[in-house]
Structure 1
């Protein structure tokens, strides 16, 4: 009898651990896909039609990052499909699509007690949780880590089944058949996928699947075609429909008899609806009805504009228990940074005791920042016969479905969620408030309805990235060259990830989540604080702060403040000791040759001049993830002060994200991240007064316009490491690169983000 680790765990349980062992036993799940006429199912990932079209199910939210191209590309390359015949459909909520890597990363959020007992236990626990709760959230750049291998295994099995069907017709061995470009060949015989699909789908998939020896990989060393860059081998599937306007978002859904709802919220920290003037809306045409709860008021009409006009006329009034101002938040952050109790989050090398003195210390501050996606929250719903249908863009579909079900008193199995793509998200659609609201409205009105938040509501109800006050201290070597012997952080910030976890997994309100997480440490809020540099000692301490204002996740998350503080601090030490910033960083990298290669490549792209006084060039680098699998980026920014503020003229970045699957999408993500970081660095701060933002318009955020976008050059560094996510690297590295460039240009050291929040 073959003995496996899982079998051993199960057998050992007979004497007293049967319940625990049963909990970890594998489960089988039905195929969630439904074939259309002429389509044939191969597994939970692939359908092949008799016209040769290969449809790939994608369980991740498409929000501009290109996942509806990346996963189908992986399938196409492993299967041997013709890219011109590959289609995509959103996967239904199902256990087959569990995001186990993300479940493990977020274990502290859904199971804080048992997390961390052992690597094996954590892995099994995460898999069991993810599959049993159908957890398939899109976040933290885990899509490839979670789904590349399942996609390859599914495609390899389908390829073998197609080859077996062809071989049975030709009297051949299926292993001798070649499968490429949507055709199976053996000698002079050939058959298309469409011709083989019906018979192949009835065959048993081989176990294990015959995966190709080489994973999908782009050749970054191939020269560009004459006259410019070559066209991508796998162009984005969603691009043509986005260009011609036919791409369907949640706000584009139209159902028979649908009406349109607008909503009004009070401050996002415990506000209650106290009154409104219903009579004032009677003269507005097209009003269908109004729905009120303790926290909000919604009006539905035959047009959204009529519904919004009715809300304006009704003038809803709210009270709030916690009228928070930015000045109150700053005062509390300042007090706790100086003397608040802290939790040790990380300790490396010789430990905290290695720091016996502080030779240099600096304080850095980062103000809250909203996700500010261009598309506001929108959803459509239909409630009939005790059943709710929901069309919504969500990064956490099962959690949104369960929240909507609970809101209207339905069992989750009576709620059907149709996943829609998002016009940007930046983690805002991890929240599911609009799913709860549309469920209430649809049930009350008993007719199809679409809810769309106005920009004002998006700003009011935003849960921005938390504010950060950070104190960095370093003990330097006695040689006088600025070498760091020990580094210590004190990071004062709300435990925003714990708040988020209470909302997502505990279905708590924002203010209840604040109370539940108050005073608790949050390791995810300090990610990025342990740098890529090999320093003798690094200690990171978190000081949890309760500000009274809800916080959440925003693209880049904690890596934005920690990269800003660390790379600004490194630059300050280099300047104080007359060290050239690039060589100073290189001297501390130790064995991280991947980061060294990024720094050298970025410097070459930018024609780095050493960051000389008044040159306007600044350099920064950052790693997201561990030393083995993490992505690296180095960036040189060129900036100048001017009459209209600061002008960033050029960003040169070199990036190592391991094995690159689609270089076109990787560059898009890095360029987009750099521009997102530009907005964080030079945009306007989110100021609060009485629990409300001081400004509500999108233009008030001060985001870069097309005319203000700098020249961007991105070089992808060839690497054999596992794939890393490119989406957040540029966001993290851009602000410190710009801050260092401004110091070079002006001699002024700006230690607060946004950089111009207090003027230049």
Structure 2
């Protein structure tokens, strides 16, 4: 990792009122990290107190991925701090924390005509955009890519001035001093950070910062499952004892509670309700109406929910989302629609103009996030000041949405960021916070809005449904010579970008569904060497609002490609592992993952009746790559799909925290099991068919298989593993079921739910 003035934040007098971010030209921001009594702020990333406590700012939302441990661990390692004295606090929205790698990855959304000018991970134009727009978004596993360098630089600068302060006392060169476990040491002398921090705050650090020779890194062999940890998760103790505070735990003086009823999905409007019936519910306070929903406010949430039931809101409904209409539009687009070529290799038109040896059709249902915590937000409105307590993956977009909805200045919207009880990209949407603010204004008092599970499914934004055809031509030995992927689905990322960046309503954003959208097709170019290849996207408007979900298009792509590869291997009479390995000579890292997983799982060839299936995948985000190989053992019994074991090997570059990386892959595999077994819905007359969590076929504790996760050591830039398990589990399970003797399934979920 290289440090330059362009890539780090440098303190102005280190405790001064400004921090500078260098890109095309220096940028200055008000210091986003306020220091309390007995604290000294060192840049935008950390404070050190006279009690020795090091407080680290984390600009990203904690939603189970462990970012409130990872960034503090980066700081603690670089600073030489004692992990027992590390604290964490959410950072305010500021351009100082702009997520440039994500801005680069999404450049086609905010720079659609010339996205190529900002699509490189180190793009100066993307960095300027992220700073100017305070683009502090948590998505696509870009947190370390966005913040590690700046956090290390801040810690290196703080370590340097602490060493300078100690060196002045000892009359030695500060470069001869080191920081260890919260002390500056020189030979046998040592002074604590607490003793030095006041003096250090008056000194000027080196420019540029002087980081340690080695970045933070843990080797997997040092931390097998169950081993003692150097940096246990900071959020774990409070989550275990129940004191961890989520959005639904916020309590304010004079606060009321609100429940909500949304219009069906479509072009709908509220036309009436029975206010008198609602007033008969004990605890009821008032109703707040909006064209697209009705909310009830009461002294407790259950009273609000009962009042809504009594009020029986009525909606005028047209152009409703419907399973039949969605399927018809996708099918028509797949057969007749105009396609955009996403990728082309060799001469696919010549090779694929003749008869295909194998053709497979696929059906992908709308997938639901199914987070443990439904959308919750607390709001307090006082004139032009709006305070919001909510989890948000895009806090500046949330502030803009609230300001626009209430017609107040942006400066008047204060967001108190809360952690999310599982988001899976659902909290990129700000609608719940806007609704809470509108209800609070209508009620004239602070209000906490909590969606019921049913309303979460009505108002949620599922991962897009899709139809696909894969066609192949093969050589006499069965090896793949030409491959075509044709996928019909909405331009879901264009639609998402219109809402997030342009402030479009859900209905307005639907107009983008039939546009060209390369972002919606990421991952659909196979990792395998194929002499002749073409990938086509047929964008289609389906009038069902869609949004990002963990893994996004990679989850669809992995399922299509990896199950199809198994079919080709079977037709050729080839063993699935060797069939893939023959096409992975250019990617030895992925081949290594797959071979090691096969060895750990005692791969038996995946022959019929064995119940073993495999899949592998390479994922690229912000110029960083992650790879995973997975062997699944699965079968069907009287209770449906049963997964007995999952064995995964991942190559995710340099690992900052092995335990968190393992957790992320294990959790992702369980999430992927949910996508394979259910987590989907269809729509009838604008309403989802599955309204309860128990209807989604999600794995329960008794369904969870034995999971083994191993890592390949690497010094490449860290890759966030949170999505790898989620995207690789469904195809591996599908292949395992086929080898167990079940019918080859080409639907996702495998149960056919939501189709």
TM-score (norm 1): 0.94
Matches within 5 A, 1:180-579: 180-222=180-222, 229-349=226-346, 355-357=352-354, 358-477=356-475, 480-515=476-511, 517-579=512-574
2:12 alignment counterpart? none
- State the match for 1:64 in structure 2: 64
- How many angstroms apart in 1 are the aligned matches of 2:622 and 2:329? 35
Q: CA deviation at 1:293?
A: 1.2
Confirm whether residue 587 of structure 1 aligns to residue 582 of structure 2: yes
Distance 1:425 1:246 in 2: 20
Q: Once structures 1 and 2 are overlaid, which stretch shifts more, 347-356 or 298-307? A: 347-356
Q: Secondary structure at the match of 1:290?
A: strand
Change (3 A) 1:206 1:23: closer
1:520 Cα shift?
A: 0.7
Question: What is the aligned partner in structure 2 of residue 91 from structure 1?
Answer: 91
Q: Report the equivalent of 1:736.
A: 731
Matched, 1:135 2:130: no
Q: Tell me if structure 2 keeps the 8 A contact 1:684–1:757.
A: no
What secondary structure sits across from 1:337 in the alignment? helix
User: Counterparts of 1:683-722 in structure 2 under 5 Å?
Assistant: 683=678, 685-722=680-717
- Secondary structure of the residue that 2:581 maps to in structure 1? helix
Q: How far 1:119 sits from its partner (Å)?
A: 5.8
Residues of 1 paired with 2:406 and 2:40: CA distance? 37
CA distance in 2, matches of 1:159, 1:121: 29
Deviations 1:583-629 (A, max 9, x none): 11101002211111111111011110000110010111111117973
Aligned to 1:630, the other structure's residue is in SS state strand
> In structure 2, do the counterparts of structure 1 residues 594 and 628 end up closer, same or farther at CA, with 3 Å as the change threshold?
farther
For this pair of structures, how many residues does the alignment match?
736
Q: Structure 2: which 5+ runs fail to align?
A: 7-21
Instruction: Verify: 1:752 aligned to 2:750, yes or no.
Output: no
Asked if structure 1 preserves the Cα contact closer than 8 Å seen for 2:23 and 2:124, the reply is no
With normalisation by structure 2, the TM-score equals 0.95
Secondary structure at the aligned position of 1:538 is classed as strand
CA deviations over 1:633-652 (Å, ceiling 9, x no partner): 11111112211212111111
Closer, same or farther in 2 for the Cα pair 1:703/1:122, shift >3 Å? Answer: same
Secondary structure of 1:113's match? Answer: coil
Cα displacement (A) at 1:186:
1.7
537-546 or 415-424, larger mean C-alpha shift:
537-546
Per-residue CA distance 1:465-521 (angstroms, 9 max, x = gap): 0011111112222xx222122221111011111111111111111111001x14211
Change (3 A) 1:155 1:348: farther
| Compared CA separation, residues 263 and 721, structure 1 to 2 (3 A) | same
2:676 equivalent to 1:681: yes
d(CA) in 2 for partners of 1:571, 1:350: 24
Shift of 1:118: 6.7
CA contact 2:384–2:409 (8 Å) conserved in 1: no
Correspondence for 1:643: 638
Helix, strand or coil at the partner of 2:295: strand
Map of 2:160 onto structure 1:
160
Cα drift, residue 184 of structure 1? 0.5
Q: Alignment partner of 2:265: what SS?
A: coil
SS class of match (1:232): coil
1:288 shift after superposition = 2.3
Give a deviation string over 1:193-244, Cα, whole Å, max 9, x none.
11111111122221110111111111223375xxx73112110000000000
Cα offset for 1:349? 4.6
Range moving further from structure 2, 242-251 or 105-114: 105-114
Secondary structure at the aligned position of 1:505 is classed as helix
Deviations 1:73-127 (A, max 9, x none): 0000000000000000000000110000000111111221121147679922211
The whole-number CA distance in structure 1 between the counterparts of 2:677 and 2:514 is 32
| 1:618–1:637 CA contact under 8 A, matched in 2 | yes
8 Å Cα contact 1:685/1:757 also seen in 2: no
Partner-residue secondary structure (3-state), 1:28: strand
Q: Deviations over 1:308-332 (max 9, x none)?
A: 1111110111122212221221121
Q: Are 1:481 and 1:579, in contact at CA under 8 Å, matched by a contact in 2?
A: no
Alpha-carbon separation, structure 2, partners of 1:716 and 1:370:
30
CA shift digits 1:165-198 (9 cap, x unpaired): 1111221111011111000012332111111111
Counterpart CA distance in 2 for 1:658 and 1:188 is 37
Report whether the alignment pairs 1:654 with 2:652.
no
**Deviation digits for residues 536-575 of structure 1, max 9, x if unmatched?**
2322111011111111111111111111110111101100
Hey, what's the Cα distance between the residues in 2 that align with 1:593 and 1:735? 24
Query: C-alpha distance in 2, partners of 1:258/1:187?
Result: 58
- Out of 668, 671, 696, the residue aligned to residue 666 of structure 2 is 671
- Map 1:111-150; keep pairs closer than 5 Å: 111-117=111-117, 123-150=123-150
Gaps of 5+ in 1: 7-21
Distance of aligned partners of 1:95 and 1:758 in 2 relative to their CA distance in 1, 3 Å threshold: closer
Any conservation in 2 of the 1:269–1:510 contact (CA below 8 Å)?
Answer: no
Distance, in Å, in 2 between the alignment partners of 1:521 and 1:90 is 37
> Take 2:209 and 2:598, find their aligned partners in 1: how far apart are those partners?
45
